[in-house]
Chains A and B, each alone.
Chain A
Amino acid sequence: MDIRRPPPRSSSGGVEPRFRQVGFVTSAEPEAEPAPAASPPAPDGLSTGARSPVMIPPPLIPDHLHAPVPVPVPAPASESQSFMPSSPPPASSSRLEAASDLDDDDDVDVSWARPPPPALPEPYKRYLTEKKNEDAPASFSQKPKLSRAERRATQEAQRAAKAAAKEAGLKSTAMASDVNTKLSKQPKTAKTSLKKDMTQVNPPVASDKKTSVHPPDKDRKKDGPQPRMQFDNAHRVVKAKKRSIVNQSEAQNRVELFRHLPQYAHGTQLPDLESKFFQPDLMHPSVYKVGLQYLSGNISGGNARCIAMLLAFREAINDYSTPAEKILSRDLTAKISSFVSFLIECRPLSISMGNAIRFLKNRITKLPLTLSESEAKASLQSDVDRFINEKIIVADKVIVSHAVTKIRDDDVLLTYGSPSVIEMIFDHAHEIGKRFRVVVVDSRPNLEGQGLLRRLVAKGISCTYTHINAVSYIMHEATRVFLGASSVLSNGTVYSRAGTASVAMVAHAFGVPVLVCCEAYKFHERVQLDSICSNELGDPDAISRVPGGKSSSHLKNWADNENFHLLNLKYDITPSDYVSMLITDYGMLPPTSVPVIVREYRREHFIACTIDLLHWHGLLNHLGQSELPASKDCCFDTEQTPHMCADAKSKAFSALDMCSSPKGRGEPQHCCRLATPMGTLIPGSLQPDGPSTSPFSELSENVVRN
């Protein structure tokens, strides 16, 4: 597929200006590229020779707006998911959307915050979507050249038009059968989209369809992974509902600001689901069980939920057998996706679970086709075990060993809620004979701290228990604040149980160091600035019920009052300014280093191949055969073969030279990060003349000095 080849570049190393890139950098190369051709991709045979569509996001089924071609009817889940296996696993939080909305999937799953140019995975992704659209390839080549923003605008317009059409009660089947109606309808629907958007320009670019430039928030929505399904989007909710197993009924009196989050009436659907338990074809029983446990709240806590889910998947994999005429790697991914969407219906995923699912799906897609089914299953199961062991259990041990070094005798340690890892830290510190006191700060409605308190007191640790109202009073006693986290985002923001931010801020005001303990698998490359855009709503009844006393009846019939809303937010975010230290399995870090860890950690996930000479050759052949390796960002990991590294590195140099030579098929920006044990090399710092002579510089090869 030579359409992916960029303009030839002379060399990867020498000509590049030497500049130092530190931390979480995105290569500037994609911007430097010529404006990509707008013709959406076509299957290989139909390629019209357009140049470098690397930057083109997968088209949003554009055909129904400008081509007399039947619109694909929204596919049932299983069908749409059959495209999933080879697609890169979606970002954790957008999973539901990825699973449910593939038929209008204009959202590139590529997260914009990833270090390599975002262009990279798109061809591959597009390759998938184009298969879907291959019934209308001819129309693609007619489209004029568009810039990225224009294309985006077009897609937005199309999407709005589609939504409007749906709202107007237009049956998609009717649309498909009667092209004329649709074409006559189209200007109208486009007009409605224009009305919605205040700024609209640029009709000459694509005269055959109305385009509009959207306000930046639309752009942002498109650029990044959509955090999760927006539940104020009635169209999508209806669609998601069609396929859901759990019959969630919407709660009344939803808080205006949080309508985009799912809010269900709690406690109604459990008996119904339990009765469905023995229906054979519904869901794997172990997954079903875990789902019910999430729903009922029997399993809570990031690690516990993640482990339960992984073990359920492990069992499901064990009982899995590939249906006839299907490939394991594809069918199983679809299967996992359906499990995941079921689990999401039970309770929104945590970021840690999202990362674990991403890992598992990645392993599935990376299975060599040569493996037999039983081998593949065994390998997947051992992968799951390895993940649980390395990323959770051992990680916790490492965190504990780091954290106890920060506990001195006579310390007063304050904690909030009941994070499992913090409990382990206290236990261990107590075991090794440190003398300290614990202040457990708790909050309604869950009162999880009571469990922690009970267990700590049983072990003989002296404790103080208080509610969060008193945190400013008790804080002056504390010498360290230990907090858990549901996730740490790449700007250092800590996403954790609601109330954590208040504790951290009070501690900051009192000059007490705040230590956040979090396993690195919970890190996420997303950036979040407030707790509104992505959060989880708990049962509003939980806060209306006050234990004991007559006052509990005051809020009894709160749902009847239209003007009254209850908001039970489960999470909040703590800005990194209030965090003194993050303790992870990679050691003790400042919160500013999260992007580095995210990068290093991702590397383990997305191993394209382990560099040794053979693999390099294989890879180059692969590239030569016009197929990108099935990885999202093509980073090559040498961590696994450290002794090979120097050798591999020199090979890498020559390989990159080959890549960048006009004859080679692979582009250096496809190999934009070369992970070596000596750090991550960026193309600008790849020196074909090999490592410099000074021993120190060899340790930080990627650092370009002066």
Chain B
Amino acid sequence: MEADAAQNPNPSPVPPPISAYYQTRAEHHAVVSSDWLAHAAAAASFPGADAAAADATAPPPSPGVGGVIEEFNFWRRKPEAAEAVAAIMALAAVIRSSRATTMMELEIELKKASDKLKSWDATSISLSAACDLFMRFVTRTSHLEHEKFDAAKSRLIERGEKFGEISLKARKTIAMLSQDFIYDGCTVLVHGYSRVVLEVLKLAASNRKIFRVLCTEGRPDRTGLRMSNELAALSIPVKVLIDSAVAYSMDEVDMVFVGADGVVESGGIINMMGTYQIALVAHSMNKPVYVAAESYKFARLYPLDQKDMTPAHRPIDFGVPVPTGVEVETSARDYTPPQYLTLLLTDLGVLTPSVVSDELIQLYL
């Protein structure tokens, strides 16, 4: 894929920086080569994040704040690990290797590390949300005030490591909550590859629900193909659409299930490119749009429109060289305003979009 990007005679004079977040996603979920089935199988058999998370000694020793990026990258490579979990792991490692002797020092050190992490990849919403959340623990956890410093420190580390489990647990919770929404005989449209949505459909299939799934192709990294592969392995009837066939097939769809890269304060979501148009089409045809997202993806952002976000770019492979003088829209994500979403299925419960802000206020104010 990277090689393809190099082939592209991209006309823009300075190619925009590639979003690390979407690069990782592409590496984990995309179909990049002809033997993608083998790749996918290999990825599926990779030990999950829970195993990795439990193994606290695995990460290489990181030298303080400077190593937080490496630490983060180490965790990020694991395909089952959510970005947020990787961030928490990295911050936990900072605490572990910290030579601070007071809570205040540790806090400042952590703040530096989390700022660094956030600025390293400004395009990842769950990364910054997770950093904020973790900082919230440190600054707000009152147990720590009463304990000895060492005890408090180890408690923080322990917390950080628990976070990985929570992220998995959140997916299970969401899957359970969403079972009420999937009924026998329904047709579900999914967009791209989302671990939560996959979990939801998996559980529905194991509950012997009879339903059909339409997968979009998920250009440019064709994550939809990966999704359809996983679903077919569960013997769920799947049909793959090209992204532009969404409106065409919307009338046979009963509900739309999407994941989210981030849930913003307005209750809207930021997700892989194409979600907005699917939501628009679904809205105009009165089909419900359900978003499955873990609550650590809730971010204190409030985009007003599509351009009001940190741009996240991603190379696009058109298969043929792009003619010179032609510009390519390389943005990797779009913003779906809350009025086009029906419900958010989160580990906090089934929420209407307007509740997201209430939760955020309670979390951060």
Complex formed: what's the CA distance from A677 to B143 in Å?
Answer: 14
Partner of A705, one of B137, B162, B300, B348: B348
Least CB distance from A293 to B in Å reads 36
Complex formed: what's the CA distance from A600 to B145 in Å?
Answer: 25
Partner of B159, one of A580, A600, A695: A695
Is A193 interfacial (CB 8 A cutoff)? no
Complex formed: what's the CA distance from A408 to B361 in Å?
Answer: 26
Closest to A600 in B: B365
Contact B357 A590, beta carbon cutoff 8 Å: yes
| Chain B 344-365 residues near chain A, CB threshold 8 A | 347-349, 351, 354-355, 357-359, 361-365
Partner of B338, one of A590, A596, A705: A590
Contact A642 B142, beta carbon cutoff 8 Å: yes
Complex formed: what's the CA distance from A573 to B61 in Å?
Answer: 60
Contact A646 B142, beta carbon cutoff 8 Å: yes
For chain B, what secondary structure do more than half of its interface residues adopt (helix, strand, loop), or is it mixed?
helix
Residues of A within 8 A of B365 (CB): 586-587, 600
Residues of B within 8 A of A600 (CB): 361, 365
| Chain B 152-198 residues near chain A, CB threshold 8 A | 159, 162-163, 166, 169-170, 173, 176-177
Least CB distance from A610 to B in Å reads 14
Complex formed: what's the CA distance from A34 to B130 in Å?
Answer: 48
Is B304 interfacial (CB 8 A cutoff)? yes
For chain A, what secondary structure do more than half of its interface residues adopt (helix, strand, loop), or is it mixed?
mixed
Complex formed: what's the CA distance from A647 to B145 in Å?
Answer: 10
Contact A592 B140, beta carbon cutoff 8 Å: no
How many residues of chain B have a CB within 8 Å of chain A?
44
| Chain B 209-249 residues near chain A, CB threshold 8 A | none
Contact B358 A593, beta carbon cutoff 8 Å: yes
Residues of B within 8 A of A685 (CB): none
Q: A589-B265, A694-B166 are in contact. Are A581 and B304 (CB under 8 A)?
A: yes
Least CB distance from A79 to B in Å reads 43
Is A362 interfacial (CB 8 A cutoff)? no
Contact A592 B302, beta carbon cutoff 8 Å: no
Closest to A586 in B: B365
Is A195 interfacial (CB 8 A cutoff)? no
Is A678 interfacial (CB 8 A cutoff)? yes
Contact B295 A643, beta carbon cutoff 8 Å: no
Is A388 interfacial (CB 8 A cutoff)? no
Closest to B156 in A: A695
Complex formed: what's the CA distance from A642 to B142 in Å?
Answer: 7
Contact B163 A680, beta carbon cutoff 8 Å: no
Contact B300 A587, beta carbon cutoff 8 Å: yes
Residues of B within 8 A of A580 (CB): 304
Least CB distance from A493 to B in Å reads 15
Closest to B136 in A: A699
Is A614 interfacial (CB 8 A cutoff)? no
Complex formed: what's the CA distance from A261 to B355 in Å?
Answer: 36
Residues of B within 8 A of A592 (CB): 267, 354, 357
Residues of A within 8 A of B307 (CB): 408
Is B305 interfacial (CB 8 A cutoff)? yes
Contact A593 B349, beta carbon cutoff 8 Å: no
Closest to B161 in A: A695
- Classify chain A's interface size: 35 or more
Is A273 interfacial (CB 8 A cutoff)? no
Partner of B267, one of A23, A586, A590, A703: A590
Is B52 interfacial (CB 8 A cutoff)? no
Is B308 interfacial (CB 8 A cutoff)? yes
Residues of B within 8 A of A408 (CB): 307-308
Is B336 interfacial (CB 8 A cutoff)? no
Contact A643 B166, beta carbon cutoff 8 Å: no
Is A644 interfacial (CB 8 A cutoff)? yes
| Chain A 672-706 residues near chain B, CB threshold 8 A | 677-680, 694-696, 698-700, 702-703, 705-706
Q: A20, A22, A705: which has the most chain B beta carbons within 10 Å?
A: A22
Q: A513-B304, A696-B295 are in contact. Are A590 and B166 (CB under 8 A)?
A: no
Contact B354 A596, beta carbon cutoff 8 Å: no
Closest to B300 in A: A587
Residues of B within 8 A of A695 (CB): 137, 159, 162-163, 166
Q: B295, B296, B357: which has the most chain A beta carbons within 10 Å?
A: B357
Least CB distance from B284 to A in Å reads 16
Contact A700 B359, beta carbon cutoff 8 Å: yes
Residues of B within 8 A of A647 (CB): 142, 146
Contact B159 A596, beta carbon cutoff 8 Å: no
Residues of A within 8 A of B203 (CB): none
Complex formed: what's the CA distance from A579 to B65 in Å?
Answer: 42
Residues of B within 8 A of A513 (CB): 304-305
Closest to B155 in A: A695
Closest to A694 in B: B166
Is A239 interfacial (CB 8 A cutoff)? no
| Chain A 634-689 residues near chain B, CB threshold 8 A | 642-647, 677-680
Q: A406-B308, A581-B304, A588-B302 are in contact. Are A705 and B266 (CB under 8 A)?
A: no
Is A597 interfacial (CB 8 A cutoff)? yes
| Chain B 230-279 residues near chain A, CB threshold 8 A | 265-267
Complex formed: what's the CA distance from A515 to B266 in Å?
Answer: 13
Q: A586-B361, A588-B265 are in contact. Are A406 and B348 (CB under 8 A)?
A: no
Least CB distance from B112 to A in Å reads 22
Least CB distance from A632 to B in Å reads 22
Complex formed: what's the CA distance from A679 to B133 in Å?
Answer: 14
| Chain A 327-353 residues near chain B, CB threshold 8 A | none
Residues of B within 8 A of A587 (CB): 265, 300, 361, 364-365
Contact A23 B304, beta carbon cutoff 8 Å: no
Contact B357 A596, beta carbon cutoff 8 Å: yes
Complex formed: what's the CA distance from A702 to B349 in Å?
Answer: 12
Residues of B within 8 A of A515 (CB): 304
Is A480 interfacial (CB 8 A cutoff)? yes
Least CB distance from A256 to B in Å reads 38
Complex formed: what's the CA distance from A647 to B147 in Å?
Answer: 12
Closest to B301 in A: A588
Complex formed: what's the CA distance from A67 to B146 in Å?
Answer: 63
For this complex, 15 residue pairs linking A to B, each with C-beta atoms less than 8 Å apart, are: A23-B355, A587-B300, A588-B265, A590-B302, A592-B267, A592-B354, A600-B361, A646-B141, A646-B143, A677-B140, A694-B169, A696-B295, A699-B140, A703-B349, A706-B176
Closest 10 CB pairs of A and B: A592-B354, A679-B362, A646-B142, A593-B357, A588-B302, A513-B304, A695-B159, A643-B145, A596-B358, A590-B266
